[in-house]
A and B are shown apart, each in its own frame.
Chain A
Amino acid sequence: MKYLDEFGDPDRARRLVAEIHAATTRPWSVMEVCGGQTHAILRHGIDQLLPAEIELVHGPGCPVCVTPLEMIDRALLIAARPEVTFCSFGDMLRVPGSAGDLFTVKAAGGDVRVVYSPLDAVAIAEAEPDREVVFFGVGFETTAPANAMAVVQAHDRGLANFSVLASHVLVPPAIEALMASGTSRVDGFLAAGHVCTVMGTHQYAPLAARYRVPIVVTGFEPLDVLDGIRRCVVQLEAGRAEVENAYPRAVTAEGNQPAQEVLASVFEVCDRPWRGIGTIPASGWRLRAEYADHDAERRFDVGAFVVEEPAACRAGEVLQGLIKPDECEAFGATCTPRTPLGATMVSSEGACAAYFRYRRSGSPAALRGG
């Protein structure tokens, strides 16, 4: 149990692991929705500490991975325009589009800049009024409040040269789609803590009831993840299916009210294609018509373009928990973080990248020569 020493509080980790073992009598599949939790699980070998009956299924909660290819291609076309300064979180730069990525655009002379906060992009728009500043607004409910405020600020300051290419995704409709598909093997969910910090936990109760699945709101540290798994297993063994908050230090039932108000004023719900998964109804946010002037999708006519996903990539199956990354032929061979075929190999939250980073040695895929 060498891993336990890395847990900050090894005794607590040991107790949690023992409790999970003691509670488990039957096989259960538990999906961690969030990519941050996937990385914690792989990094600390949490899956290997669990009873053989418990399978952890990695979910679609990596915003970089599920941003639709069509949106990436649109971003590349906008970023390549000479009048545009294209601002993005660093994670998005290597995400492969149909042809190339934002790095390619930058290398070809495009003005692509990495920002830490969308407000940095607003500041650029203010300082450089001759540039068309576009911010690539991706992410789940956690990142959306930041992007919403950038739109509000640009609007209030009359920055006509600032727009957002908005492609937000929402967690509850994704859980709904997975369960409604009928093919899901998932018995219980770990829900992403910080999404609930913003949105609260009330959206999950109807899902837990309708699909008879426990949903445990969990943090990102290894002990949080272990505790989340423990509570999920205890519920499953008892035949309960409730929403449980295992992350009360950062999550309340009602969530962050000021953030929810701004979100509601800036965004409206839309159908959204998820890369590799397909369109999920009412699973995204786009800018409301009131902010059309700041909507890059409406501002920049990029014409028709062909969207083409590399055939070898099985990221869609990975994102739905149908296969593990190392079951993909390309994993570690033709597909590595340096030469990613799919977005799940790029992102610091992607499952393929997590397997590559923490699971490669000794795995058959590594022997194939990655």
Chain B
Amino acid sequence: MCLGIPGKILAIRDDRGTPMATADFGGVTKDVCLAYVPEAEVGDYTIVHAGFAITRLDEAAALETLAMMDELGVIDEELGGESEGSAP
């Protein structure tokens, strides 16, 4: 719940006044709310918690984090949902 994954913003749209983005997390695409990082642009990396971007992150740092998370296999865990509980 707390790690937060860097996601790359692929597209931005407006959902009834709330800025929403489609973001790529190392190959998995998810909806991300940009209400708290309204200055984010397509191509930016953001740290995402529970579907919300909480800050921007520079690309080098984001890629490093993603590579690390991928290696550790924690991306699925953080994206949650599918596995219904992260206990192995």
Binding site for B on A (CB under 8 A): 6, 8, 34-36, 43, 61, 63-64, 89-91, 93-94, 103, 114-120, 139-140, 142-143, 145-147, 149, 153, 157, 192, 194, 197-198, 220-222, 249-251, 256, 258-259, 262, 337-338, 340, 346-349, 353, 357
Q: Which of chain B's residues have a CB closer than 8 A to the CB of A147? A: 50
9 contacts across the A-B interface (CB closer than 8 A): A63-B1, A63-B2, A114-B84, A117-B52, A194-B47, A197-B47, A221-B64, A337-B88, A348-B74
B residues 1-33 near A (Cβ < 8 Å) are: 1-4, 16, 18, 30-31, 33
B77 adjacent to A348 (CB under 8 Å): yes
B85 adjacent to A90 (CB under 8 Å): yes
Cα–Cα, bound, A327→B72 (Å): 27
- Closest-by-CB residue of A relative to B83 is A90
Chain B contributes a number of interface residues (CB within 8 A of A) equal to 40
- Closest-by-CB residue of A relative to B65 is A221
B54 adjacent to A116 (CB under 8 Å): no
4 nearest A-B pairs in the assembled complex, by CB-CB distance: A117-B51, A146-B50, A348-B86, A337-B87
A93 adjacent to B85 (CB under 8 Å): yes
A149 adjacent to B30 (CB under 8 Å): no
* B22 to A: closest C-beta gap in Å: 13
* A96 to B: closest C-beta gap in Å: 12
Q: Which of chain B's residues have a CB closer than 8 A to the CB of A259? A: 36, 54
Cα–Cα, bound, A117→B25 (Å): 15
Question: Among the listed A34, A153, A258, A262, which residue makes an inter-chain contact with B2, where contact means beta carbons less than 8 Å apart?
Answer: A34
* B69 to A: closest C-beta gap in Å: 9
B79 adjacent to A116 (CB under 8 Å): yes
Q: Which of chain B's residues have a CB closer than 8 A to the CB of A116? A: 30, 50-51, 79-81
Asked if A91 meets B1 with Cβ closer than 8 Å, knowing A114-B81, A116-B51, A250-B57, the reply is: yes
Q: Which of chain A's residues have a CB closer than 8 A to the CB of B65? A: 221
B54 adjacent to A197 (CB under 8 Å): yes
Question: Among the listed B1, B68, B72, which residue makes an inter-chain contact with A349, where contact means beta carbons less than 8 Å apart?
Answer: B1
- Closest-by-CB residue of A relative to B87 is A337
B49 adjacent to A146 (CB under 8 Å): yes
Q: Which of chain A's residues have a CB closer than 8 A to the CB of B4? A: 142, 194, 197, 220
Cα–Cα, bound, A115→B83 (Å): 11
Number of A-B contacts (CB under 8 A): 137
B58 adjacent to A249 (CB under 8 Å): yes
Cα–Cα, bound, A43→B3 (Å): 14
Question: Among the listed A94, A140, A192, A256, which residue makes an inter-chain contact with B54, where contact means beta carbons less than 8 Å apart?
Answer: A256
The answer, yes or no, to whether B38 is at the interface (CB within 8 Å) is: yes
Question: Among the listed A34, A90, A194, A262, which residue makes an inter-chain contact with B80, where contact means beta carbons less than 8 Å apart?
Answer: A90
* A327 to B: closest C-beta gap in Å: 21
Cα–Cα, bound, A157→B54 (Å): 23
Cα–Cα, bound, A157→B71 (Å): 41
A118 adjacent to B36 (CB under 8 Å): no
* A262 to B: closest C-beta gap in Å: 8
- Closest-by-CB residue of A relative to B17 is A156
Cα–Cα, bound, A149→B4 (Å): 18
Cα–Cα, bound, A143→B37 (Å): 15
* B36 to A: closest C-beta gap in Å: 4
* B3 to A: closest C-beta gap in Å: 5
B2 adjacent to A140 (CB under 8 Å): yes
* B31 to A: closest C-beta gap in Å: 7
Q: Which of chain A's residues have a CB closer than 8 A to the CB of B54? A: 142, 145, 194, 197-198, 256, 259
Q: Which of chain B's residues have a CB closer than 8 A to the CB of A63? A: 1-2
Q: Which of chain B's residues have a CB closer than 8 A to the CB of A198? A: 54
